[in-house]
Amino acid sequence: MTDSASTPSKAKPRNTKRRNLIQRLGYAGLILAAIITVTPIILIVVYIYSRGLPAISLEFLTAMPKDGMRAGGIFPAIVGTFWLTIGTGVIAVPLGVGAAIYLSEYAPDNRWTRTIRIAIINLAGIPSVVYGLFGLGLFVLFLHFGTSILAGSLTLAIMTIPVIISTSEEALRAVPNSFRVVSISVGGTRWQTIRRVVLPQALPGILTGVILGLERAAGETAPILFTVAAFFLPRLPSSIFDATMALPYHLFVISTQVPGMPVKIQYGTAVVLLTFVLGMNSVATVIRSRARARRQW
Amino acid sequence: MQSRNWKEFLITRMIKVSGYSAIIFVVMIFIFLLREGSATIIEVPLKTLFSTRWYPIEGYFGILPLICGSIIVTIGATLIAVPLGVCCAIFIAEIAPRWVREILKPLVELLAGLPSVMLGFLGILVIAPAVRQILNVPTGLTAFTGAILLAGMAIPTIVSVAEDSLDSVPRTYRDAALAMGATKWQTIWRVTLPAARSGVLTAVMLGVGRAIGETMTVMMVTGNAPVMPTGLGSLFRPVRTMTATIAAEMGEVANGSVHYHTLFFIGIVLFVISLLINLVAARIVFRQQKRAERILS
């Protein structure tokens, strides 16, 4: 029995007052927490843009770095991150979406399926630098890919797969079962049902997950430290076996490893990286909200 | 018809393989970490390995200061992130009006997408000088600075997982509490939150996992001094974490050297820690699912 339940009714008015006061204080606390959490996010974005935008020019975006990276542009880093993101997507999307289809459409409810789910949860939790070690051990050294776009993309892909699986599976599961039943009852096979009915309905959700996963891969530094990233390489990669500069690693290098680095270039690089991330984030948000508005069920 | 059957068979097989890929990846990561790191146990005497001195150039491979560094930064981050994250989740799930929720959720998601290297960059230029001035310590690159930034990285995980579990508490629970005369605050505090406690616990654990595995941010802002923490004061002095050690030193060691093997050994330690955290989290999730099924049936 709690106090409020056992209190006799004549004490009620005071009690109500107190309860309302507690509620108001509690709400204030929660709102305060939300404000403390969210304000820095807005501040970070505004601050980086206000400090970094003046550094952005056509030359900055399209020229090679000069003078030990203290001048010139960041073109090779932009290109490197672009290719790494593409490479990650090419490897991670089929595997991740395939796994999601398996889990949502095929997997029986047994011990193996549970093991798969536990493995996915674990993959998502492995520290990014451990992925870097794994990529170094398997792709760079054991398979002799060297520090290359291929090794980096593979490492980033394995890191991204859990994100893609969990978001895609959620999207697939959201498709009502009646859709599948109808397709099968008019003679569609299981795969035809998935391919023609379930996947198209789940596509926006899957796409959102894929973009959010790739966004995270594009911003990661630790997994590419030992697998792709070149400290300073003022030329463009010519094949997937080339090392390359990459935006996040470049930002790390110029903010910690190069003495006498002009702050302007640092903020400029941060702006480009942030724009990359924000751009992907808004595309994902737009796809999701559009799909939600158009949903037929 | 025959060819279609073949195609269907093939595709089903491929989907099944990608479903099982997650297990393969986890096992492969562990194998390759062992392959490169297990030699440490033979090469470095256990007494040295668990001593308090990390100075690889002279053959001191004590990983205790690194483990303690990771722990102290993670505890600091948890103390900041858990109250903020859980309160923020309660606010979003229980009391925020729809339009506020539509603003808050994408913002928190954006925080999850911000590259860790960018937070580290801002940490060096903005937070560290602020910490130094406000706390009046000799350097702003301290465990505390790292904890602040890590809290920012753990908060999105905590908010989204905790919010999901609060959301999945059946409406009827709240209605029952309200009908019995409880205020909304009492309903949240005594009914909804306890009902969602296992999910909130999972959120906290995944947040901790995220914090302990973070690499770039801590490497950039914690000062990287491998000294043994001696008490609460150590929070305001430089430390070095396990992740930062790997990231900072792997680039400079010779493949196959003792130092190289030891860095992989640290990777194994990190892998096992994240495995334990996520296994427990997964257990809670599964148990919760089972309970939900029992209640609904």
For residue B273, pLDDT over 90 is answered with yes
Residues in A closer than 8 angstroms to B267, CB to CB, are: 129-130, 133
Count how many domains chain B has: 1
Burial B225-262 (b: 16+ CB within 10 A, else e): ebbbbeeeebbbbbbbbbbbbbbbbbeeeeeeebbbbb
Is the Cβ–Cβ distance between B288 and B198 less than 8 Å?
Answer: yes
pLDDT for the residue numbered A96: 95
What's the confidence (pLDDT) of residue B237? Answer: 87
Contact (CB<8Å) B209/A125: yes
**Packing angle, helices B2-37 and A75-101, rounded to 10:** 120
Distance from CA of B135 to the nearest CA of A (A): 20
Task: Flag whether B31 is in a domain.
Answer: no
- Structural domain including B288 reads 38-296
Residue B286 has pLDDT above 90, yes or no: no
**pLDDT band, residue B294 (cuts 50/70/90):** low
CB of B148 within 8 Å of a chain A CB? The answer is: no
In a domain? residue B68: yes
Tokens (6 digits) for A25: 């204080």
Nearest CA-CA partner of B273 in B47, B114, B66, B109: B66
B284 shares contact with chain A (CB less than 8 Å) = no
Q: Does A1 score more than 50 pLDDT? A: no
Both tokens of B250, joined, read 């792997």
Instruction: Answer yes or no: are the C-beta atoms of B241 and B69 closer than 8 Å.
Output: yes
Token pair recorded at residue B38: 């297990």
Tell whether the model's pLDDT for residue B18 goes beyond 60. yes
Residue B293 scores a pLDDT above 80: no
> In chain B, what residues touch A23 (CB-CB under 8 Å)?
183-186
User: Three-class SS of residue B32?
Assistant: helix
Please tell me the predicted confidence (pLDDT) of residue B230. 77
Average pLDDT over residues A100-121: 91
CB contacts under 8 A, A 228-247 vs B, are none
CB within 8 Å of chain B, chain A residues 65-124: 94-96, 98-99, 101-103, 106-107, 112, 114-124
Contacts 24+ apart (CB under 8 A), B291-294: B292/B168
* Contacts with A94 from chain B: Cβ below 8 Å: 18
CA distance linking residue B219 with residue A249, whole number of Å: 13
pLDDT of residue A2: 45
pLDDT at residue B117 above 90?
Answer: yes
Instruction: Work out the pLDDT band at B6, boundaries 50, 70, 90.
Output: confident
CATH architecture of the domain with residue range A65-294: Orthogonal Bundle (1.10)
Query: Is B274–A40 a contact, with Cβ atoms under 8 angstroms apart?
Result: no
**How far apart, in whole angstroms, are the C-alpha atoms of residue B162 and residue B168?**
10
Strand A71-72, strand B54-55: pairing? unpaired
- Chain A, 244 to 283: residues with Cβ < 8 Å from chain B are 248-249, 251-252, 255-256, 263, 266, 270, 273-274, 277-278, 280-281
Tokens at A67, concatenated: 């003078």
Distance, in angstroms, between B52 CA and closest chain A CA?
Answer: 23
Q: Taking CB atoms and an 8 Å limit, are B247 and A131 in contact across chains?
A: no
Inter-chain CB proximity A125 and B213 less than 8 Å = yes
Task: Read off the pLDDT of residues B190-207 as tens digits, 9 standing for 90 and up.
Answer: 999 999 988 899 899 989
Residue B110 covered by a domain: yes
Residue B47 has a pLDDT of 81
Average pLDDT rounded to a whole number, residues B167-191 = 90
Q: Is residue B232 domain-resident?
A: yes
Are B116 and A221 an interchain contact pair (Cβ–Cβ within 8 Å)? yes
Percent of chain A residues topping a pLDDT of 90: 56
Q: Which of A112-121, A228-237, B65-74 is predicted least confidently?
A: A228-237
Chain A residues whose beta carbon lies within 8 Å of the beta carbon of residue B246: 129, 132-133
Q: Please list, in sequence order, all residues whose beta carbon lies within 8 angstroms of the beta carbon of residue A244, skipping any fewer than 6 positions away.
A: A76, A79, A80, A83, A84, A149, A228, A229, A230, A233, A236, A237
The CA-atom distances, in angstroms, between A1 and each of A6, A7, A16, A19, A111 are 7, 10, 18, 17, 42
Q: Mean pLDDT score of chain A, rounded to an integer?
A: 88
Sort strands B54-55 and B60-61 into parallel, antiparallel or unpaired.
antiparallel
C-alpha A212/C-alpha B36 separation (Å) is 32
Say whether residue B115 is in contact with chain A using an 8 A CB cutoff.
yes
Alpha-carbon gap, residue B73 to B76, rounded angstroms:
5
- The SS3 of residue B60 is strand
Mean pLDDT, chain B, rounded, equals: 88
Is A220 in Cβ contact with B115 (below 8 Å)?
Answer: yes
Model ipTM value: 0.89
| Residue A297: pLDDT over 80 | no
Question: So what's the pLDDT on residue B113?
Answer: 87
Q: What is the CATH number of the domain that holds B53?
A: 1.10.3720.10
Residue B141 lies in a domain: yes
Residue A203 is encoded by which pair of tokens?
């596509």
Instruction: Give percent helix, percent strand, percent coil of chain B, each to the nearest 5.
Output: 80, 0, 15
* Residue B118 with chain A: CB contacts under 8 Å: 44, 48, 219, 248, 251, 270, 273-274
pLDDT in tens, B213-258: 999 999 999 888 888 877 777 888 889 999 999 999 998 888 888 9
Taking the model in full, what pTM does it have?
0.90
Residue A217 pLDDT > 60: yes
Residue A225 predicted with pLDDT over 60: yes
Note the pLDDT of residue B291. Answer: 65
B159 assigned to some structural domain: yes
Nearest residue of B to residue A157 by CA position? B25
Per-residue pLDDT, averaged over B38-42, amounts to 87
Task: State yes or no: pLDDT of B116 exceeds 50.
Answer: yes
Question: Which chain B residue has its CA at the smallest distance from A35's CA?
Answer: B88
Model pLDDT for residues A237-258, shown as the tens digit of each residue: 888 888 889 999 999 998 888 8
Beta strands A71-72 and B60-61 are unpaired
Residues of A in contact with B11 (CB under 8 A): 191
Tell me what pLDDT residue B295 has.
59
Among all residues of chain B, which has the CA nearest to that of A169? B19
Residue A6's pLDDT band (boundaries 50, 70, 90)?
very low
* pLDDT tens-digit series, residues A146-193: 889 999 999 999 999 999 999 999 999 989 999 999 999 998 888 889
On the question of pLDDT at A7 being above 50, the answer is: no
- Does B22 fall in a domain? no
Give the whole-angstrom CA distance, residue B21 versus residue B15.
10
Tell me whether residues A126 and B274 touch, CB distance under 8 A.
yes
Evaluate if residue B138 carries a pLDDT over 90. no
Q: Are A122 and B282 an interchain contact pair (Cβ–Cβ within 8 Å)? A: yes
